[in-house]
Amino acid sequence: MAGTGFLAIFLVGLLGAGHCAGMCGGIVGALSAQGAGDRPAWSLHLGYNLGRILSYTLAGALVGALGGLGMAFGPVASIQLVFYVLANVMLVALGFYLMGLTRSLAVVERIGHLLWARIRPLTTRFLPVRRFGQAWALGMLWGWLPCGLVYSVLATALVSGSAERGALAMLVFGLGTLPNLLLAGILFTRFRRFAQASGVRLASGLLVLGFGLYGLFNATNLGGLLWRGVVAALGA
> Which range, of 123-137, 170-184, 220-234, averages the lowest pLDDT?
220-234
Over the stretch 35-88, which tens digit does the pLDDT of each residue have?
Answer: 544 455 778 888 999 999 999 999 999 999 988 877 666 555 566 677 777 777
3-state secondary structure of 159: helix
3-state secondary structure of 229: coil
Q: What was the pLDDT predicted at 217?
A: 78
Nearest to 59 by CA among 204, 171, 189, 222: 171
Nearest to 24 by CA among 174, 233, 208: 174
Using an 8 Å Cβ cutoff, are 55 and 143 in contact? yes
Using an 8 Å Cβ cutoff, are 145 and 23 in contact? yes
Nearest to 138 by CA among 46, 60, 57: 46
- pTM for the model: 0.78
Higher-pLDDT residue of 97 and 194 is 97
Average of per-residue pLDDT values in the chain: 76
CA 172, CA 202: separation in Å to the nearest integer? 23
Higher-pLDDT residue of 173 and 101 is 173
Distances (CA, A) of 177 to 10, 20, 32, 182, 228: 8, 8, 18, 9, 23
Higher-pLDDT residue of 199 and 20 is 199
Higher-pLDDT residue of 153 and 15 is 153
CA 133, CA 16: separation in Å to the nearest integer? 27
Over the stretch 177-210, which tens digit does the pLDDT of each residue have?
Answer: 888 777 766 655 455 555 566 776 787 778 778 8
Query: If pLDDT is split at 50, 70 and 90, which confidence band does 138 have?
Result: very high
Q: What was the pLDDT predicted at 236?
A: 40
For the chain, the first-to-last Cα distance in angstroms comes to 11
Domain residue extents for the chain: 3-235
